[in-house]
Amino acid sequence: MMGEITFRLLHLKQFEQKLRAYHGYRRDSIVRWKRQMGISWDTATKVLAQLKIIDGTEIRQMLKQFTVENKDLFSSKDCFICKFGRPGKSGEILLYEFKHGCPEYSRCIIEAWEIPSLPEKSRIVFVDDLVGTGAQSVEYIDGTLNLFLNASHEAYLLSLCGTPQGITHVRANTNFTPMCCLLLDEDHYQHYRRSEVFNDKERLMINHINDMLKAKGEKSFDKGLLLAFYYSVPNNTMPFIWKDDFQYADESGKLKKWYALLPRRY
């Protein structure tokens, strides 16, 4: 009863309406998610307000704007568009959104198996949703895509969002030119080391909770983001947003399972 009263007093229904944009959101999750953290409602509502969920309409608008700003690249007859990553992953969804958001360039869309037969000096734009640390992008480029590309091809990685660190890592370690629609800079989007949103006490508490949700020896891609796409949450987002059913030990050493606000689908 008290949770529902608090929910109404703090106008959390508006946040639930926002969270419904995420396809994996579970109704009335906010109170349960907040209760397990031991943080104030003031801090919790700051997290909820800062959390950005990019839906299909916004994705298409972002891609459309990018093609307008880079018309020379996309309008050229030697430009081709391809998904980035393995089948069924985010690159496939982004290619679908690109096709419907930028139908004038649908003629340019190809499958990866067509790359070896493309003309010399073709420009190939691979689309994905996020370059976070850049490590996974570099691994896929070196281990897969460079087997298809020939030396004359100009390759680009267009990500909907990207961190400066990830973009730099891809540029320095591959033959691809990285580009992104939204740059996730440290001051506005990465909240662990500095933040315009959280005070020092809140930031330390948030850091502690998220550190608790990382397995020992696990390679961390966490960049302190508060970001989701309508179909999934990137692993560069704070774990306390998405790491559902993760077993952890609380302050007393008792084993529990985390209840995520937005369970990550893949």
- CA distances 228 to 14, 57, 63, 110, 112, Å, are 17, 14, 17, 27, 27
pLDDT (average), residues 62-85: 97
Q: CA quadruple 185, 225, 10, 23: dihedral positive or negative?
A: positive
pLDDT (average), residues 189-206: 91
Q: Give the pLDDT band (50/70/90) at residue 58.
A: very high
Give the C-alpha separation, 167 to 169, whole Å: 5
**pLDDT (tens digit per residue) in 86-107:** 888 899 999 999 999 999 999 9
CA atoms within 13 A on the CB side of 239: 23
Share of the chain above pLDDT 70, in %: 95
Q: Which helix (H) or strand (E) holds 182?
A: strand 177-183
pLDDT at 47: 97
Delimit the domains of the chain by residue range. 2-53+192-256, 56-183
Asked whether residue 195 carries a pLDDT value surpassing 80, the answer given is no
Q: Assess contact for 115 and 147: CB atoms under 8 A.
A: no
Q: Assess contact for 137 and 170: CB atoms under 8 A.
A: yes
SS (H, E, C) 69-131: HCHHHHCCCCEEEEECCCCCCHHHHHHHHHHHHCHHHHHHECCHHHHHHCCCCCEEEEEEEEE
Q: What is the dihedral of CA 158, 144, 76, 127, to 10 degrees?
A: -20
**pLDDT (tens digit per residue) in 105-144:** 999 999 999 999 999 999 999 999 999 999 999 999 999 9
Mean pLDDT computed over every residue of the chain: 93
pLDDT (average), residues 185-201: 90
- CA distances 138 to 62, 107, 159, 173, Å, are 24, 28, 13, 7
pLDDT at 11: 74
pTM listed for this prediction: 0.93
pLDDT (average), residues 81-90: 92
**pLDDT (tens digit per residue) in 140-184:** 999 999 999 999 999 999 999 999 999 999 999 999 999 999 999
CB neighbour list of residue 41: distance below 8 Å, 6 or more residues apart: 6, 10, 34
Top CATH class, 56-183 = alpha beta
Task: Give the 3-state secondary structure of residue 18.
Answer: helix
